[in-house]
Structure 1
Amino acid sequence: MNEKQATSHIMLVDGMALLFRAFYATSITGHFQINSKGIPTNAVSGFLKHMLTAVSSFNPSHLAVCWDMGSKTFRSELYTEYKGNRGEAPIELIPQFDLVKEVVASFDIPNIGLVGYEADDCIGTVAKALKDDMKVSILTGDQDILQLLEENISVVLLKKGFGNYQVHTPDSFYEEKGITPRQMIDLKGLMGDPSDNYPGVKGIGEKTALKLLQQFESIDGILENLNDLSKSHRTKIEQSLDMLHLSRTLAEIKCDVPVSCSISDSELRYNRNKVINMLDEVELKGIHRYLADEKEYA
């Protein structure tokens, strides 16, 4: 690794994870921060606080934000019930989807997203593309992204409040789960994911799934050794083979999506006055103090 690689660090932000977290943290009390134009700004404000606090804490040299681009994706085409347990977005959040991208753009930070894919897929694609050239960290509240962990890719999980994080590496993940990050895909294939509304193998929970993966390494390994399983586990898996394979496909983050992020475009050097003008226009109060000093940015 050359000197540039040693010092360059891109943080990929899971935009939706931060935006939803920020919205629900304040909307529960009815505090939507509606500006003079009648537009709620509570989610955008909280998003910026999360993002800028992380920038201050981890000091990345580069930054990009990835977004979902609508609810219809290749996963919902494969399984119509995918995320079918989620209701419509709250009416106060809807106008903030476009607004937050406009505010991010004022920092000259790339907004990345592609119709038909989720933010996770864009994050995975960009992370894998840049990992040989620079350190990559992913800022999110979503543990699904832990499957992307590898030597030069870490995951920064948001904890309660602002500035509280759990940083995961492949080693810390293995210590916690007893499996590798890539095995997490098969783990979710077996146990399913209630939050994304797919079942995996009915009757197989996390404890059993972990035990099977530690013994047989993968779903393929389990299927090759079905006769070594207990009758109960074998029967459950045999009765759910189609859903097992489908759940695994739904769980896997695609890392070959046609999106890109250039190193030069993602360099974190924003025009402070331009950002302040945007904050003032949107009437986002209390964000100025999170901005870097004049001496750090133009």
Structure 2
Amino acid sequence: MSTEEKPHILLIDGMALLFRSFFATSAMGHYFPNAEGTPTNGVQGFARHTMTATSIFKPTHMAVCWDMSAHTFRNDLFDGYKANRPAPAPELVPQFDMTRSVSELIGWKNYGILGMEADDLIGSMVETWDGKAEITIVKGDKDLLQLLRPGVQIAFMKKGYNVYDIYTYERFVEEYGISPKQFIDTKAFTGDTSDGYPGVKGIGPKTALKLIKEYGSVEGVIEALHELTPGMRKKIEEDIDMLHLSRKLAEIHCAIDMNDSIENLAIPIYDTEKRELIEREGYSMIVRQADSLFKK
């Protein structure tokens, strides 16, 4: 790689790919049990999805980021954070550790920190490599839009293994009319039903966006409460504590020390030895996918 050419880092939300892969096949009753009878549908789907992403985006380096536990610092801020999520299916439970093991077996660099979410690790990677690398993030939901900046794009999974909706900094600004950082403030008002925090009751995405476009931030809206309609002012005043808390919950923590050497993120070489290792573990679908994508 020349000195002028920036590395291209692919950042994968491992749990998002695992869940997506599990539900895509379990809905049809397909679990692909191994020789011990343990389901592997999520494991193999994760690896296939990640391999396909490397073939589409052609990164020079990559990392897989993981949620390590259900309890994070956000639960300390708000008891109800993600409390509405059902317990994972019993067929999925053994696949959490199996998937991380397969990711390591393939040679991908994996990160996970207790008390932090994968989003926080991804955000910290973006902060660490900002300006020094091109970054593509593979993700399932819109939480990470706040991380967009020049040189960073987010590929939202849409269909199958190879259909993505790609957001760049320019596309976001054109569609939303605010900066990606201000997306945090809109979420403070709307809350997030999947994460279980309410924001301000009665304020939806359109109203939240209008408020942030006009006043710039949560604090800007609060300072201008006297300019709002009585109904809007009442909604915000009644939920002002939750508004502040929701903003804290919505903001991705980007200050974790992720300053790993770029060499540690290099894309691993898929060779005969690696193929045999994966095959020996019984992951025939991963082997087939790798053969079709990386055959010489």
Same fold (TM over 0.5): yes
For 2:3 and 2:60, the matched residues in 1 are separated by 11
**Which residue is equivalent to 2:78?**
79
For 1:95 and 1:54, the matched residues in 2 are separated by 25
Aligned counterparts, 1:186-205, within 5 A: 186-205=185-204
TM-fit CA distance, 1:152: 1.6
Aligned counterparts, 1:270-285, within 5 A: 270-285=269-284
For 1:125 and 1:5, the matched residues in 2 are separated by 24
For 1:272 and 1:16, the matched residues in 2 are separated by 26
Contact 2:105 2:278 in 1 (8 A): no
Contact 2:67 2:113 in 1 (8 A): yes
1:90-141 deviations in Å (ceiling 9; x for gaps): 1111111111111111222111010000000000001110122211111111
Paired residue secondary structure (1:182):
helix
For 2:4 and 2:148, the matched residues in 1 are separated by 18
Contact 2:270 2:294 in 1 (8 A): no
**Which residue is equivalent to 1:96?**
95
Aligned counterparts, 1:160-171, within 5 A: 160-171=159-170
Equivalent AA in structure 2 for residue 106 of structure 1: L
**Which residue is equivalent to 1:177?**
176
For 1:244 and 1:7, the matched residues in 2 are separated by 40
Give the unaligned 5+ runs of structure 1: none
1:168-197 deviations in Å (ceiling 9; x for gaps): 111111222222211110111001000000
1:32-58 deviations in Å (ceiling 9; x for gaps): 111111211100111112111111111
Aligned counterparts, 1:1-298, within 5 A: 3-4=2-3, 6-291=5-290, 292-293=293-294, 295=296
For 2:183 and 2:115, the matched residues in 1 are separated by 23
For 2:118 and 2:272, the matched residues in 1 are separated by 29
1:136-156 deviations in Å (ceiling 9; x for gaps): 111111210111000121111
Contact 1:202 1:236 in 2 (8 A): yes
Count of residue pairs brought into register by the alignment: 294
TM-fit CA distance, 1:5: 5.3
Indicate the RMSD between aligned Cα atoms, in angstroms.
Answer: 1.5
Contact 1:109 1:265 in 2 (8 A): no
For 2:274 and 2:101, the matched residues in 1 are separated by 11
For 1:133 and 1:155, the matched residues in 2 are separated by 17
Paired residue secondary structure (1:255):
coil
Paired residue secondary structure (1:55):
helix
Contact 1:272 1:294 in 2 (8 A): no
Paired residue secondary structure (1:265):
helix
Paired residue secondary structure (1:13):
strand
TM-fit CA distance, 1:269: 2.6
For 1:168 and 1:121, the matched residues in 2 are separated by 19
Paired residue secondary structure (1:165):
strand
For 2:130 and 2:199, the matched residues in 1 are separated by 31
TM-fit CA distance, 1:239: 0.7
For 1:271 and 1:52, the matched residues in 2 are separated by 11
Relative to structure 1, the CA distance from residue 90 to residue 260 in structure 2 (aligned partners, 3 Å threshold; closer, same or farther) is: farther
Contact 1:103 1:278 in 2 (8 A): no
Give the unaligned 5+ runs of structure 2: none
Paired residue secondary structure (1:159):
strand
Give me the TM-score of the superposition, normalised by structure 2.
Answer: 0.95
1:245-291 deviations in Å (ceiling 9; x for gaps): 00000000000124443211110133423432332133222322432
Contact 2:190 2:205 in 1 (8 A): yes
Contact 2:108 2:267 in 1 (8 A): yes
For 2:96 and 2:274, the matched residues in 1 are separated by 18
Give me the TM-score of the superposition, normalised by structure 1.
Answer: 0.94
Contact 1:188 1:251 in 2 (8 A): yes
